[in-house]
Amino acid sequence: MAELIVALDVNNRAEAVEKVKAIGDSVGFYKIGLELFTAEGPDVVKAVKDLGKRVFLDLKFHDIPRTVERAVKSGGALGVDLMTIHSVGGKAMIRAAADAAAEFGEGGPKILAVTVLTSLDQGDLEDVGVMGRTPADQVAAMARFAVENGAHGLVCSPKEVGSLSSSLPAGTLFITPGVRPAGAAVGDQKRVATPADAVRDGATHLVVGRPILAAADPVAAARAIRLEMES
Ligand code: C5P
């Protein structure tokens, strides 16, 4: 069964705790990203863990292998469940992240690789030296590269998840943001899919922010999304 992760896109710990409490038992997994982590640091991770929730720490590490290895160990010590790295950090960096995670055993963090940021188009890729590959080609190549070098899963758009999940080994995790329940506001997302479509295409985890955080009744919004996932 795919899991629902709520993107805790707020900028302070008090608001983060208030949101997690308000959403209550209907969601057990939260994504803490750069904005909240940079503002509040590990304390906000501890606060969400203390409320009995799992944490996806989305800091997209991209550094030398030793630094990434040590950052993953810090995340593991905090008890985070999912962490992100950039696949373009290279083989040794991906391997260092996976090896550091493995030290925590089965319950340790799982390493997710970002392939190509969805904000980049072909021109942007050429600017950084990726020639002769469309963004879709680059996503497919980097996804395979990351998984072959030890990443447990990938962050991917709902439009990519179908082809990636059918071509990568069973057990690979596929985390998809850009999910919108039928009829919900799309906001600044350009390529969206419904929860049912994303799950049918192979997503193992859906990341949803505003449709739950900004809902008048976040509990009802989360339940409706879970129902759509189960359908
Ligand atoms: O509010 P919304 O559901 O659009 O939030 C989606 C979350 O997933 C945000 O935290 C956003 O930064 C993240 N994300 C995304 N698209 C990507 C990668 C991450 O929307 N390609």
The domain tally of the chain equals 1
CB 63 within 8 A of CB 71: yes
The model's pTM is 0.96
Annotate the chain with three-state secondary structure: CCEEEEECCCCCHHHHHHHHHHHHHHCCEEEEEHHHHHHHCHHHHHHHHHCCCEEEEEEEECCCHHHHHHHHHHHHHHCCCEEEEEHHHCHHHHHHHHHHHHCCCCCCCEEEEECCCCCCCHHHHHHCCCCCCCHHHHHHHHHHHHHHCCCCEEECCCCCHHHHHHHCCCCCEEEECCECCCCCCCCCCCCCECHHHHHHCCCCEEEECHHHHCCCCHHHHHHHHHHHHHC
Q: Which residues pair with 29 in a beta bridge?
A: 54
CATH number, domain with residue 170: 3.20.20.70
How many whole angstroms from 154 Cα to the centroid of ligand 1?
14
What confidence category does residue 231 fall into, taking pLDDT thresholds of 50, 70 and 90? confident
* pLDDT score, position 182: 83
Q: Which residues pair with 30 in a beta bridge?
A: 6, 55
CA distance 197 to 115: 21
- For a pocket test of ligand 1, which of 160, 207, 208 has the largest count of ligand atoms closer than 8 A to its C-beta? 207
* pLDDT score, position 184: 85
Range 81-89 average pLDDT: 98
pLDDT at 144 over 90: yes
Of residues 185 and 33, which shows the higher confidence score? 33
Phi then psi for residue 112, to 5 deg, are -110, 135
As a whole number, the mean pLDDT across the chain is 96
Q: Is the CB of 46 under 6 A from ligand 1?
A: no
Range 32-56 average pLDDT: 98
Q: Is the CB of 4 under 6 A from ligand 1?
A: no
What is the extent of the structural domain holding 58? 3-230
* pLDDT score, position 84: 98
CA distances (Å), origin 186, targets 3, 19, 151, 192: 21, 21, 30, 7
pLDDT digits (tens, 9 = 90+) for 161-218: 999 999 999 999 999 999 999 888 888 888 889 999 999 999 999 999 999 999 999 9
* pLDDT score, position 91: 98
pLDDT digits (tens, 9 = 90+) for 97-122: 999 999 999 999 999 999 999 999 99
How many whole angstroms from 95 Cα to the centroid of ligand 1?
26
* pLDDT score, position 185: 87
CA distance 59 to 195: 24
How many whole angstroms from 159 Cα to the centroid of ligand 1?
14
Residue 40 is encoded by which pair of tokens?
Answer: 């509040």
Percent of the chain whose predicted confidence (pLDDT) is above 90: 94
Distance of CA 191 to the CA centre of its chain: 16
CA distance 194 to 200: 10
pLDDT at 12 over 90: yes
